[in-house]
Every structure is written in structure tokens, then in C-alpha cells.
Amino acid sequence: MPETGSPTASADVAIVGAGVVGSTLALALHRHLIEPGARILLVDPRRAPAWQPINDTAAGLRTVAITPASQKFLASLGVWERLPQGAITAFPTLFAYGRSAQEKITFDAADCVGRLSTEPPALGYIVEETALLETLHRCLERVAGEKEPTGNASGRDGTSSVSGSICWSRACFDTLTWPASHPWAQLHLSEAEHPPSAVAASLVIAADGARSRVRHQTELTWIGRSYHQRAVVAIVENREPNLVAIQRFLPRGPLAILPMGQHGMYSNIVWSTNESEADWLETGASASQFLDATHAALHRVNVDGGQHAPYRRFLSQNSYPIDRRSFPVVPSFQRLIPSRTDGRDRWSFPLHFGSASGYDANRVVLVGDAAHVVHPLAGQGVNLGLADAQTLARVLKQAWQTGRDIGDPSVLAVYTRERLPLNTAMLVTLSALRRVFAFPTRTRGLGSTLASSFRGLGMQFIERVAPLRSSVVRIATGEPWL
């Protein structure tokens, strides 16, 4: 892009996006690069909403699944112990099952035999996203002191430097340029009450989500496609406590039940399905119809592959076949919890997958959803982003301590070589897993029976072979596996 003016300030690292991944990375870099005083700039105008415990309303309808590996990373940054206890629910067991009573498998925290085993044992944690983001922002504001990206200190390039080791700019990111007269990248920022400004940075980190504006201005391309589905999300109050994470694989997508609250009195429902069914579940069904449909989808032993006609049929007849003896661990629900922010008790988001062609280019590096997007069926999205942040912080620390330019392509290539294969392997695995359980979507008779039998044999084999089951758990909980 053409040169558009001289920068008014400079930073060693500029992070665009203060979501969970970007905020965590900023804290990690502050810890690793504080000596001899790296200048870190975080750019995002948004402020995290205040979290409050669930009662009659919830702060938000989104949760994030946190693996033991991610939990230890957050704890090392002083974030985990500052989270409100009511926003964290540890689950020791995951029960997954398919369309027949034979397609089922149970993973237990006892399978965590590696160095990431936790006490008390947990396969993972369900954390309310609002609480996590608010805690991260409070930690950042404590470090940054809400300083603006200006100052009197002189940077190494002659511009004024960002004051302190880290500061937070509440400006909006506009464009990114690479002026011929300046060796660093240049961010152009805008703020409602201030004139546009420019900041020179040795390294720009894109943590601004799947539609990353930073990535869009590099030569990196996006490879992916839509699933033509949406995930319908709701928070419900359980009839009885439940601390088991549950996932049922239905023909059109998985239905996940994630425990919430200190005693498991609430659940987060995440139902992935096609567009027409998602429309009905989100807006067409009443609250009682939505809960009835969820119960039917969880307990019906044989689920066909039609549209949402089965749900309409049982609603009109006020009865539906279930077998609670086959799936006794599956909870039942008594009411939906509306969001405190807008009053809705359900919302949805589109499902797609994709990956950037590379993770670094011309003093820019990608993390989190800006680099990759995976299907939510295994709750790995945020954890892959946190692993990106942890790896990048380590790579930049090594470069900074040896006096290297942290924006140098050879430095950033180390991060890309480590994270790109791992993230791509997870993306391919989750896409394949979704296809395996979706097949066949409409075929009945022998084809459907054979597919179900093969899935059932595979799940029983994994469950009965302890080393194989432990390997699956290690991957899911974030332990190194390559």
C-alpha cells in the first residue's frame, strides 16, 4: 500500500483485537518481554460487559470449553485464580453417543495420565465467556493503566514510543501500510473524539477474528467453506444437578450439553443443525417446544434424517418415544434462562471451517480465529487460539532476549512451522468426525444399519482399549501429541 504519512508513535508489538486470545497473548507478552522493556500496544475499542451470576437472567449465552492445558496457561498469567468461581464448572466425564444404543463412549478424568492431570481430576472446564473476558480485561487494565499510545519517550526509530511496557488503545483499526521510508509496519487508527493516528510496529499480531481486517490486507489467503449450518445456543436450568458433558451426534449435526454453575444446576445447549431446523429452533419454537425438542433429540433411540417434522409430530401428539434406561446420564431441563444483555433466550451463529494459507507475512502474524476456524463439536476453537498465543509468546521471548528483530520472517516462521501442522490436523480431524457421524443422512435400511454398526464397533473399541482411549483424552485435553 502507498505511504500515507509519518507515524506519531511506535511499539515493538501491536496486537489488534482484545478478545480472549488477543488479551491472553498481551498478558503473556507483557510477562515475557517486560525486560528490557518491550513496548506492547493492544488495539480494540470494545470493553467487556460485566459478569453476574446466573439467577433469573444470564450475563450472556456463550461459554468456552477450557482444556487442562489452557487452564494451566491462564493460571501462569494470574488469570485463572481471578475468575469468579461461579463462572467455572469442571467436568470429570464426557459421554458421547450417536443414533443407536450401541454408538456410545465415555471418557473419564481417570484417563488423564499425563503431566496435565489436574486435582481434583477434570477433563476440562466450562467457563462463561463474559466472565473470562472481563477478568482478562481487568488484568490488562491493571497492567496498562489505561494509557494512550503516545508519550514523551523516544523510540528506537525516532518516533515517540508507547509509554510503559503495555498500553491499550481504544481506537479502531483502519488500515495497515508498509512505507518505503520506514522499516516497520504502520497501523492507521481512528477514534471518535480524536484525529486519526498512525503507529509504527516491528510486529503486528492479528487477533481480530475469522473476518480479520489485518489478514485481509496481507497476501495471505483464506481457504475454507461454510457448512451451511448454524449452532443454536441456549442456557437452561436443570431439573437435577449434572456435571457430565454430553454430546449426541445427530444426522444433521451434534447436540452438546455443557454443565454450568458450581453445582451443575445449569446447562449450556449448543445444537448444530441445518438452516431450516435452526430457524425453527431459534425463533419458530416456543420455550416449551424448544425444551421438548431437545429432550426428544437427546433421548430418542433411533433418530431419522428428515427435517424437523419429527419434532412437529411429537409436539402435535404431545408424546414421543424415549428410552431413558439407555441414556440415564442425560439430564432433563425445566426452563430457559434469558440473556441479561438483550433478553433473548436463544441465539445462533453460522458454522464454517477454514485456515489461512500461512500464519505470517511481512511483519504480520495470525493467531486464533484470524488463522483458523474449526467446527465447535469438540470445543477446541478457543484452546487452539490459546495454544497459538502460548507458542508465539515463547518464540518472541527467545528472539527478544537474543536481540533479534521480532518481526523478522525467520523468527515468525518458527511459530508457523510449529502451529500450522497441529491446527490443520485438528481441523481435518473434526471435519472428518462430523462426516462420519452424519453418514448416511437420508439412507435408511441396510445402509443406515451398517453405518451405525461400524460407528458402534469403533466407539466400543476405543472405550475398551485403555491406551487408545488415553491417547484420545490427551489430544482433547491439550497434551502434546506430535
The secondary structure of the chain, three-state, reads CCCCCCCCEEEEEEEECCCHHHHHHHHHHHHHHCCCCCCEEEECCCCCCCCCCCCCCECCCCEEEECHHHHHHHHHCCCHHHCCHHHEEEECEEEEECCCCCCEEEEEHHHCCCCCCCCCCCCEEEEEHHHHHHHHHHHHHHHHCCCCCCCCCECCCCCEECCCCEEEECCEEEEEECCCCCCCEEEEEEECCEEEEEEEEEEEEECCCCCCHHHHCCCCCEEEEEEEEEEEEEEEEECCCCCEEEEEEECCEEEEEEEECCCCCEEEEEEEEEHHHHHHHHHHCCHHHHHHHHHHHHHCCCCCCCCCHHHHHHHHHCCCCCCCCCCCCCCCEEEEECECCCCCCCEEEEEEEEEECCCEECCEEECHHHCEECCHHHCCHHHHHHHHHHHHHHHHHHHHHCCCCCCCHHHHHHHHHHHHHHHHHHHHHHHHHHHHHHCCCCCCCHHHHHHHHHHHHHHHHHHHCHHHHHHHHHHHCCCCCC
Pairwise pLDDT comparison (442 vs 319), residue with the higher score: 442
- Lowest mean per-residue pLDDT among 46-60, 183-197, 283-297: 183-197
- Lowest mean per-residue pLDDT among 111-115, 132-136, 259-263, 270-274: 111-115
Mean pLDDT of the chain: 81
Specify the pLDDT at position 16. Answer: 97
pLDDT at 203 over 90: yes
Task: Give the confidence band of 425 by pLDDT, cuts at 50, 70, 90.
Answer: confident
pLDDT at 146 over 60: no
Specify the pLDDT at position 305. Answer: 44
Specify the pLDDT at position 316. Answer: 43
Average pLDDT of the segment spanning 218-245: 92
- Lowest mean per-residue pLDDT among 45-54, 62-71, 99-108: 99-108
Specify the pLDDT at position 472. Answer: 59
pLDDT at 417 over 80: yes
Specify the pLDDT at position 122. Answer: 86
- Lowest mean per-residue pLDDT among 20-34, 138-152, 444-458: 444-458
Task: Give the confidence band of 148 by pLDDT, cuts at 50, 70, 90.
Answer: very low
Please state the pTM of the whole predicted model: 0.85
pLDDT at 468 over 70: no
Average pLDDT of the segment spanning 50-79: 91
Average pLDDT of the segment spanning 425-448: 64
pLDDT at 20 over 90: yes
Specify the pLDDT at position 309. Answer: 52
Average pLDDT of the segment spanning 108-116: 66
Task: Give the confidence band of 25 by pLDDT, cuts at 50, 70, 90.
Answer: very high
Residue 459: all three cell numbers together: 466407539
For the chain, which domains are there? 9-52+134-223+353-428 (3.50.50.60), 63-128+228-349+451-476 (3.30.9.10)
Task: Give the confidence band of 321 by pLDDT, cuts at 50, 70, 90.
Answer: very low
Specify the pLDDT at position 186. Answer: 92
Task: Give the confidence band of 302 by pLDDT, cuts at 50, 70, 90.
Answer: low
Chain segment 330-386, per-residue pLDDT in tens: 888 999 999 888 889 999 999 998 999 999 999 999 999 999 999 887 788 899 999
Specify the pLDDT at position 306. Answer: 43
pLDDT at 411 over 90: yes
pLDDT at 129 over 90: yes
pLDDT at 257 over 80: yes
Pairwise pLDDT comparison (375 vs 155), residue with the higher score: 375
Average pLDDT of the segment spanning 214-224: 94
